[in-house]
Chain A
């Protein structure tokens, strides 16, 4: 928000459902900090003036300390910080708990660009179009070093790691154009790894999705990859192949040979494709070849979108509210 008198902003605009909550906590912290900073400054100013050295005058000693004073200035700050702790923890869990029914957008970061793909198939580079009024979930991965997707107007950020998915969500509340940054230092052109989020009215968003070049939805592209890479040879729909079926896998709980039970989420599926024999299953031979290096991060996301599309709806809901 550009300050009208100064001509430059002093406070970021609020454009998501998170912004108000973040700013409320911020103002609380500013108020508490401001109170204590001013208290200390005023006390120091008063004391150094009132008790300035005067010739030949040595006031009586102030004593060796007071137990009750020490207790007060231990307990009061402790109590205030505990308020900060609980408030901050609550907001943190809110920020990173994906609400049900969020629109899926997949993000691949690489030195030095952001690649986005929508489930309907649209791809974007350094631009992201989203509708206002609906939660959007970003499933993110890096092709190389650690990046971090940061949208100040939405008050959200999360590191984007190589080798593992991280996720965050936001719900834009005001149509507009907002900056997105890479916040984690990632090499030479780090400061150019920026772009824009376009928050649009739902109708405009639908028009945007429908416009442009004809695209293939991600799960359809993933289904084709599933055939091309030969996955379908073993992972048959009717579960009669040498590998387990993918139908109903996503969001279910898988019991490993070791007895460990794992949630079949994006990371689990990714690991099964890139490190297939790291977690052997009972009743199946560890014979699957690795697809690491054979399939791109985008391809992996499409395969996951395909496997996700084969999930039973109840399981899907369960995983998204976890």
Chain B
């Protein structure tokens, strides 16, 4: 099927047309996924550069690298870029775009042109972000809390808000596309309970994208109305209510956390199953837990506001529901662990990333319980404990999943294998660097170091230096894959259609796939993850 020639003779989605025009006007979901990959990688590099500067400043207690206002801009831009321009689009727009049609045996998504529009809309939002960055940045924090953002900040708040506003439509388009695609375009025999769990996870994510994203757009519009026209909405001096903003903001931004983590959970399910040669333990439970997280996740936003002056009784409801939403996450972790039991486990790079995900997500999830506990939250709210917790979820969880997925499907996407030993090294370096960066921040947080501090008391220095040292290791860890993956595009060994011997429709087609994905539309006759002959027979 494949040859060892450096150039592949067979026509595929990559070599069918090399012109720039063919990329910019493509409606092929696989090419759009790659367009997103390029865009979000650029934003990831930019966001990481901000993080590097933050950690450099925090090497010493005094503010001796950047001015206070520039420091505030650094953490604001870091958060905005990483959340809205990297994490939210990362897995859905790159791997989701590439894989969802292939996993369900379809030629493309339901609305290919809407899919391309999603990338253009994202890019326009991205341009506003770049303009914001070069015109001096924003200093409101990624949370845009009012009345600081609507009245007091004298930075480019509106440019950035417009950027986030526009980018939101990209999420909505992508989510809408996936929902329709998954409902209407599954191959014959591919019932809901035969779907790979990645598809379930992206489906749940898409629901949040479609229902949640309009709220952040409305909220930022209201900030704009108050900022530009002094219409009193959030500032009490104008007759507004500052807590109203927080309710609206977190109504989107808490579910947005699940936009970031659910797709990673889907990736991890695929990887764990493949590399332990086992069906995911409790398939249906894992599938429904994604939906449960998506639904209950909409009802927990007030746990960001326990100390804000929100009604204590509202706080009780939010605390209770936050514990409920923790349960499906715990169930997933237990089921992944149980999948390893009596498996046939190999330690390839994607598996290392997936195991890293489980470990770090477990710590991130468990420390989330501290924050859902109302009394405990009083002490740790707005400290480095919170910073550590959500980085364990978003970096330890979401990005480990993204990296695992990129390695897992890299041969499928590019037709080339990456160097395996370099891959394993990167997973190890990232895991070590990550923990050294963020574990000390739990201790700092309980000690009482507040977040978003340009200068800090001297007694916190040692732990901050550890954190900065970890960040530099983490930086190296992220640079490794950029280099060897790029290198493999030309020099990697040619990949077969199914180098991991994985189950799933995407592995039935050549690597890289032809533009139309499948030469023949597949018919599904077995359950997902039928890695054991016995199960194939029964399915």
Contacts and interface: CB of A to CB of B under 8 A. Distances in A.
- The answer to whether A and B belong to the same complex is yes
A282 to B, nearest CB: 25
Contact of B447 (A12, A57, A145): A12
Interface string A59-77: 1111011100110011001
A65 B283 CA distance: 8
Interface in A254-299: none
Nearest to A8: B462
A185 B326 contact: no
A47 B358 CA distance: 14
A307 interface: no
Interface string B362-381: 11001101101111111101
A159 interface: yes
A213 interface: no
A92 interface: yes
A305 to B, nearest CB: 22
Interface string B304-333: 001111001001100110010011001101
Interface stretch (A93-101, A128-136, A197-205, A223-231): A93-101
A304 B69 CA distance: 37
A183 B383 contact: yes
Interface residues of B, number: 95
B448 A12 contact: yes
B532 interface: yes
A179 B143 CA distance: 26
Interface string B272-294: 00001111011111000000000
Given A92-B375, A145-B147, A188-B68, A52 B448 contact: no
Contacts of B320: 85
A127 interface: no
Interface string A24-45: 0110010011001100110110
A189 B375 contact: no
Interface stretch (B87-95, B200-208, B234-242, B255-263): B234-242
B59 interface: no
Given A22-B376, A77-B326, A88-B373, A161 B242 contact: yes
B342 interface: yes
B453 interface: yes
B382 A47 contact: no
A164 B309 contact: yes
Contacts of A189: 68
A41 B383 CA distance: 27
Nearest to B460: A8
A174 B320 CA distance: 35
B373 A29 contact: yes
Interface residues of A, number: 87
A26 B152 contact: no
B337 A40 contact: yes
Nearest to B346: A53
A272 to B, nearest CB: 15
B11 to A, nearest CB: 36
A9 B447 contact: yes
A186 interface: yes
A179 B346 contact: no
A295 to B, nearest CB: 14
Contacts of A41: 359, 362
A157 B382 contact: yes
Contacts of B315: 92
B450 A150 contact: yes
A312 interface: no
A51 B343 contact: yes
A25 B376 contact: yes
Contacts of A182: 450
A263 to B, nearest CB: 15
Contacts of B374: 88-89, 91-92
A93 B358 CA distance: 35
B366 A92 contact: no
Given A40-B362, A61-B532, A70-B282, A10 B443 contact: yes
B299 interface: no
Contacts of B422: none
A191 B456 contact: yes
B5 interface: no
Contacts of B277: 53, 58
B370 A29 contact: yes
B337 A44 contact: yes
Contacts of B344: 51-54, 57-59
Given A12-B446, A163-B237, A65 B373 contact: no
A188 B139 contact: yes
B72 interface: yes
Given A9-B459, A12-B446, A33-B370, 9 more contacts: A26-B379, A29-B376, A37-B362, A41-B362, A73-B331, A84-B323, A85-B372, A92-B377, A185-B145
Interface of A: 2, 6-12, 21-22, 25-26, 29, 32-33, 36-37, 40-41, 43-44, 47-48, 51-54, 57-62, 64-66, 69-70, 73-74, 77-78, 81-82, 84-85, 87-96, 111, 144-146, 148, 150, 152-153, 155-159, 161-164, 166, 179, 181-192
21 contacts: A11-B446, A26-B446, A36-B366, A61-B535, A62-B342, A62-B343, A65-B282, A70-B282, A84-B373, A85-B319, A92-B375, A95-B375, A146-B145, A146-B148, A155-B379, A158-B307, A161-B242, A162-B235, A164-B309, A187-B139, A191-B63
| Top 10 A-B residue pairs of the complex, sorted by shortest distance between their CB atoms | A163-B236, A152-B448, A91-B375, A88-B373, A92-B374, A33-B366, A47-B340, A65-B282, A81-B323, A191-B453
